[in-house]
Amino acid sequence: MRYATYSLIILCALNGSAGAQESAPATPVTLPGSFWIAAGNAGPAEPGNRVTQGAMEQGITVWRHGSWFAGPFAAVGFTADTAGYDWNNKQPITVGGKLQHRIGNGVLQAAVGVMFERDPVSGDERHPTAFVGYWAGWQGDFESHAHGGPTFPGSVNVSSGLLTGRDPDNWMTYVTLQQGVTVLRAAGFALVPYGSSGVTFDAKRRTWQNRLTNDTGVKVMRAITGGIIEAGVAHRHQYEMVTGRESGEPVVFVNLWIGWNPVAFNR
């Protein structure tokens, strides 16, 4: 879930860039940034374990041409759990550069940089990182939304690259598809039953990185300034492709994300 959430923030930041471009006659240098936090139980992979994770990123858009954007960024993340597992307790820092391209309701991006995170095997704390990704989201029937009827919010997310200093030379790929239906709105809140399916795999065939995960659940969502907060419950079923093991468990989660993109100066 954290990868989809992170990608939602990317779109929010780029939408802010587009607004800045329309409001300022000169070419603005903008400061796209984001913050997100997600908390909930880990699911059948780690029964009884509750995980909290989040990240804050700040970038500078120094070049823009139409729907293309580029600039440096810095990000600080954290993960903590109640079980005390080493792999779930970390504070990675990343500095690098991104190239992003808006495509309709989606964002295509590529990034390279350096990640500061300890590798428990080698003890090294600095690693090259690189990834490519794509995210697209939709709301479904906008005419229905205008008249208070149901909408069909969904998203697709793909991320592939060197994504962690805990396994620095392992190329990982994540693909997630989520589809929901808004069945009720009241006082700024929306009730959304949803289903999602995700697959993860890697170059080294790690058991914990080669999984198919399916969620069926319901969440309550509310838009806030610059972002959204949501909470929900779901039944999560996981299949380990290396071992053939299957397991399921209910999960409870709370997610918050906020994005911003003020104009720094015009040039």
Q: Provide mean pLDDT across the span 94-110.
A: 96
**From CA 10, how far away is CA 164, in angstroms rounded?**
19
- CA dist 121 → 27, 93, 125, 224, 249 (Å): 47, 19, 11, 42, 31
Helix H or strand E encompassing 62? none
pLDDT per residue as tens digits for the range 198-253: 999 999 999 989 999 999 999 999 999 999 999 999 999 999 999 999 999 999 99
Average pLDDT, the chain: 88
pLDDT at 148: 62
What are the domain boundaries of the chain?
2-266
Give pTM, 2 decimals: 0.84
- CA dist 78 → 6, 89, 190, 262 (Å): 13, 7, 29, 25
Q: Which residue from 35, 28, 11 is spatially nearest to 263, judged by alpha carbons?
A: 28
pLDDT at 224: 93
**From CA 131, how far away is CA 171, in angstroms rounded?**
9
Q: Provide mean pLDDT across the span 81-104.
A: 94
Q: Any idea which architecture 2-266 has in CATH?
A: Beta Barrel (2.40)
